[in-house]
């Protein structure tokens, strides 16, 4: 397994999740909807204090890309198989993040911002469904200069698979471009996620620019439908949208792209070579659901853990569904000591 060292590199926004079961009044007060992810505006700023004071909040190391990388690391059980790059602050939360990543076995190269606090994400849970409000803070300060440093670029050189959530498009599109071009030039696998509807709506250009390099594009049904709407495809049919995503222009002639769209409890849709396949997920009785926070991230982590072992797509999907199933039975993107995936 030595050849797996540093095989998967993630780059994204490391955030500390402040997770709590809230009430409808809280959602209404801050104008937030379930099953959504947004960036905090000024009106949301007081909610971080309030969620911690008013509700029984847990602090869990998160951030979409970092979650996926940690889950892949957990599934692989090979120390140092994965690496992660992002920006944190020089503070208590940042120290927590480092400790957590180390425990998870991920090789993190954080850029530490002297003046900005570590980013946080309010995870508001009602009836097992979650809404995310991210206050990026330091995560938003990532600079491509950090990536270009020899000790960090070495992680890029070493990796054969890359994963970057769409959220990072709002932070450092130039860093994404550098990694994407490297992957294309060296026949490596570059993967991304649609991540949230606001990315397709408000960061359309940078998303389109990065999308051409992707070998795999992940997303859920809501994000897929928003992407379709933004691009005037005039269809809400997720299978059609997945096909169109897989056929989106590519950076090179030889490149293949597979679109993988999850739909909660409904089957996972995989579009490849002009064909669509559907894979049922493991259904969970409602009483076992703790929260859906990290479910999509966990799916990607499980999927990638098999992809980098060159397993067939159905095995990748099965591992993704397994990981998501484990995570939704726990608070946040956390997992037991060892996976039970065979």
Place of tokens 């669509």: 276
Alpha-carbon distance values, 318 to 262, 300, 335 (Å): 12, 11, 17
**How far is residue 239's CA from residue 77's CA, in Å, rounded to a whole number?**
34
Rg (CA), the chain: 18
DSSP symbols for 181-244:
HHHHHTT-EEEEE---HHHHHHSHHHHHHHHTT-SEEEEEHHHHHHHHHHTT-----HHHHHHH
Give the contacts of 251 (CB within 8 A, at least 6 positions apart).
180, 184, 212, 213
Q: 120 - beta bridge partners?
A: 16, 135
Coil, strand or helix: which one is 180?
helix
The token duo for 251 is: 């950076």
> Token digits for 127?
């009836």
Decide if 273 is catalytic: no
Among 274, 267, 342, 273, which residue's Cα sits nearest to residue 311?
342
Strands lying side by side in the sheet with 266-272? 107-113, 82-89, 8-11, 161-165, 189-193, 216-220, 258-263, 266-272, 275-279
Distance CA 30, CA 131 (A): 11
Q: Is the dihedral of CA 44, 49, 50, 55 positive or negative?
A: positive
> Which of 17, 113, 291, 297 is flagged as catalytic?
297
| Residue 112 φ then ψ, to 5° | -105, 120
**What is the set of active-site residues?**
297
């Amino acid at each position: 397994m030595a050849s797996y060292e540093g095989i998967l590199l993630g780059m994204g926004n490391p955030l500390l999740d402040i997770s709590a079961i809230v009430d409808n009044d809280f959602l209404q007060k801050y104008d937030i909807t379930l099953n959504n992810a947004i960036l905090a505006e000024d009106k949301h700023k007081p909610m971080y204090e309030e969620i911690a004071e008013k509700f029984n909040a847990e602090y869990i190391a998160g951030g979409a890309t970092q979650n996926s990388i940690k889950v892949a690391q957990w599934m692989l059980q090979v120390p140092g198989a994965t690496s992660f790059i992002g920006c944190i602050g020089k503070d208590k939360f940042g120290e927590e993040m480092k400790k957590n990543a180390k425990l998870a076995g991920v090789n993190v190269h954080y850029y530490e911002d002297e003046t900005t606090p570590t980013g946080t994400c309010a995870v508001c849970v009602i009836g097992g469904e979650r809404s995310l409000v991210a206050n990026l803070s330091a995560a938003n300060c990532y600079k491509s200069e950090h990536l270009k440093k020899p000790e960090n670029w070495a992680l890029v050189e070493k990796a054969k698979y890359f994963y970057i959530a769409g959220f990072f498009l709002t932070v450092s599109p130039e860093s994404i471009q550098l990694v994407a071009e490297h992957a294309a030039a060296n026949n490596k696998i570059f993967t991304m996620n649609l991540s949230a509807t606001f990315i397709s709506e408000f960061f359309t250009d940078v998303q389109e620019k990065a999308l051409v390099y992707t070998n795999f594009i992940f997303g859920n049904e809501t994000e897929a439908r928003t992407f379709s709407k933004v691009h005037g495809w005039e269809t809400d049919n997720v299978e059609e949208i997945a096909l169109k995503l897989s056929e989106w222009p590519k950076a090179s002639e030889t490149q293949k792209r597979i679109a993988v769209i999850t739909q909660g409890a409904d089957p996972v849709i995989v579009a490849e070579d002009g064909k669509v396949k559907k894979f049922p997920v493991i259904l969970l009785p409602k009483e076992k659901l703790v929260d859906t926070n990290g479910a999509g991230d966990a799916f990607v982590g499980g999927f990638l853990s098999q992809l980098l072992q060159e397993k067939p797509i159905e095995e990748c999907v099965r591992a993704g569904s397994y990981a998501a199933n484990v995570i939704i039975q726990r608070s946040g993107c956390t997992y037991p000591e060892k996976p039970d995936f065979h």
